Copies of this chain bind each other. A is one copy, B any other.
Amino acid sequence: MFRTHSCGELSVAHLNQKVTLAGWVQTIRKFGAITFVDLRDRYGITQLVIGDEINNHLDNNPLGREFVIQAFGFVRERSNKNKNIPTGDIEVNLESYIVLNSAAVPPFTIQDDTDGGDDLRMKYRYLDLRRSCIKNNLLLRYAVTRSVRNFLHEQQFIDIETPFLIKSTPEGARDFVVPSRMNPHEFYALPQSPQTFKQLLMVSGYDRYYQIVKCFRDEDLRSDRQPEFTQIDCEMSFVQQEDILDTFERLVKCVFKEVINIDLKEPFERMSWEDAMWYYGNDKPDTRFAMPITNLKVPTWIFKNKQTLIPKTCVLENGFPVFDQAETILAITIPNASEYSRKQLDELTEWVKRPQIGMNGMAYIKYQKDGNCKSSFDKFYNADNIMGIASACSAKPDDLILILVGKEEKTRKAMSELRLDINARMGNRKKNEYKVLWILDFPLFEYSEDENRWIAKHHPFTAPHPHDIDTMLNNKPAIDNPHEYLKHPYCNLKANAYDMVLNGNEIGGGSIRIHKKELQEKMFESLGISEDEQKKQFGFLLNAFEYGAPPHGGIAFGLDRLCALLGGSESIRDFIAFPKNNAGRDTMLNSPDFLEVKQLSELNIELKK
């Protein structure tokens, strides 16, 4: 060992002890004949004091930032204590030192508020990882996985590794593939998730499985998506939805408590998918603040499910073409904002007109303090009409109502974004506030206009709600008339699925799975997968269901995202040791890269010209 103690552990309990430390030179401060060096390692920082003799030597052999040294000396009490660090009561009076390695001047400062830009930090990721903010992120990540493993162990889950070189399946996202040299012209695929394997493990009787595992998706990367990402992947047998919700609600509470000392005491809110879409415009609402969306015109999609309440008040058709012709009219109410200036409103209007949002404009109603309303469409409606709208929006005097208009899906999305943006501006998206909820009752299928067929909303292994199984089995999936797809009974099928949402981010999702062969075959058929294709792609699973498959279900959490949110960040990249950029490149390694011709040849592949 190059050290007797770490740089984070010495205190007055060690006074006068001879110690050896090893670490990196963080700072060097020279005061005449005395030099102070802050020595850093993973565990902390200790101040070294260099007196006369060595100081002279230092003049000729200067230490630099990030030099790695071994320091020998005695612990003594500081006259000027630093209460901000655990070792702040002491310092080490240096007797001698050895330079273990020198260091060139780093391309950016190794500090939380570094002067390095993203590209530079990625290229020199090994230096970026020295910054204590990033180090703390990776330590938090480790604390999360440790907490998860301990919790799941207590619940009798066992960690079982599933293979990485598996089979490509055309359903779902694009696979990364791996040419097989030993089986010419054949390819493995990297798993998008261990879904079918964990189901097989349930068929095998393992009862409770988990794995913290890398998954791969060859998608066009949006910012903050990675081609490889990590899942906390879990599956349980002999359970119903309620058992899964209970188990994993406790898991998440345990992680919050152990890792960031937050008590999530209340049971997690539960919201149907319909309600989430209705009131928040998306299926992962940020519920740290309310500000629900009011639908001012009955949107088409509510016909899909008869149980959804139709809003009490709608905008009257009154000769205002923007409203009259709109498929959807959505409003949110901003409290105490009736005095927004023209400029503020223009800014918001510009914001919703950006290409990313894509609205044509924004209408508003100012419900003034004096109880009167002023709107951007006063000439089309009388005061009562407008007050009616304001009241439909549950507005009070001094509130501002913002209204977006357009195609249903786009407008819902725009309103959801506007709601988030405004609340961010209002300071309502607080880093240290956590609101977790379950989204339930997803539709089982989505309709694909392009292909005139059903697509699994979750994935093809998700079971329908128990009361919907018969409807699924007893109806043909074919959609005879694409214009009337909404009348197809499959539109009303609900999935036995659940998502966990934290502060507007989906952090986990899962479902009760199909465990009967007939139902799984019906599901594949519903998705337009021919019998031949079913056998070829999923024959192993259908076979497995013939030999005694238990009822089972599971969930997977996105570890990268969960860690980022626990760390108070929206960016996953700084919670991954070696992330890739938006082009899927590792700029430090310069990867991917071209292969040697010999390698391609051995793999029996060629580059397409």
Contact = CB atoms under 8 A, between A and B. Distances in A.
Contacts of A100: 550-551
Contact of A594 (B66, B153, B185, B550): B185
A236 to B, nearest CB: 9
Contacts of A607: 185, 604-606
A337 interface: no
B160 A142 contact: yes
A523 interface: no
Contact of A583 (B130, B135, B182, B187): B182
A174 B164 contact: no
B178 A177 contact: yes
A201 to B, nearest CB: 7
Contacts of A392: none
A238 B20 CA distance: 11
Given A146-B149, A186-B594, A214-B214, 20 more contacts: A1-B238, A1-B243, A24-B205, A70-B238, A100-B551, A102-B548, A125-B200, A135-B205, A135-B206, A138-B158, A142-B159, A164-B190, A164-B228, A167-B591, A167-B593, A536-B590, A539-B590, A604-B608, A605-B608, A606-B608
A549 B127 CA distance: 10
Contacts of A608: 600-601, 604-606
Given A182-B220, A239-B2, A607-B605, A165 B548 contact: no
Given A145-B159, A584-B180, A188 B540 contact: no
Given A138-B158, A214-B164, A548-B103, A129 B201 contact: yes
What are the 8 closest A-B residue pairs judged by CB atoms, nearest first? Answer: A103-B548, A129-B204, A167-B591, A186-B592, A2-B238, A66-B548, A180-B592, A42-B207
B214 A68 contact: no
Contacts of A24: 205, 548, 550
A67 to B, nearest CB: 6
A577 B103 contact: no
Contact of A578 (B2, B163, B178): B163
A363 interface: no
Contacts of A298: none
A3 interface: yes
Interface in A75-133: 100-104, 106, 124-127, 129-130
Interface string A224-250: 000110100000011110010000000
A290 interface: no
A9 to B, nearest CB: 11
Contact of A228 (B165, B174, B551): B165
Nearest to A65: B548
Contacts of A2: 238-240, 550-551
Interface in A1-24: 1-3, 6, 22-24
Which applies to chain A's interface (DSSP): helix, strand, loop or mixed? loop
Given A2-B238, A548-B68, A595 B177 contact: yes
Nearest to A22: B238
A477 interface: no
Contacts of A206: 42, 129, 135, 138
A1 B242 CA distance: 8
A240 B1 CA distance: 6
A85 B124 CA distance: 59
A40 to B, nearest CB: 7
Contacts of A66: 547-548
Interface in A41-81: 41-43, 66-68, 70
Which of A23, A578, A604 has the largest number of chain B CB atoms within 10 A?
A578
A549 B218 CA distance: 35
Interface in A567-593: 576-578, 580, 583-586, 588-593
B164 A205 contact: no
Contact of A204 (B101, B127, B187): B127
A603 B176 CA distance: 9
A35 interface: no
A592 B167 contact: yes
Which of A161, A167, A218, A594 has the largest number of chain B CB atoms within 10 A?
A161
A158 B186 contact: no
Given A178-B176, A602-B174, A606-B607, A161 B227 contact: no
A179 interface: yes
A174 B167 contact: no
A600 B101 CA distance: 48
A197 interface: yes
A536 B106 CA distance: 21
Contacts of A228: 163-165
Contacts of A167: 586, 589-593
A182 B221 contact: yes
Interface in A265-293: none
Contacts of A230: 161
Nearest to A2: B238
A253 interface: no
Interface string A138-180: 1101100110010001000011111111111010001111111
A188 B216 CA distance: 13
Contact of A160 (B101, B138, B592): B138
A191 to B, nearest CB: 11
Contact of A174 (B1, B158, B181, B605): B181
Contacts of A479: none
Interface string A200-215: 1101111110000010
A588 B160 contact: no
Contacts of A606: 605-608
A449 interface: no
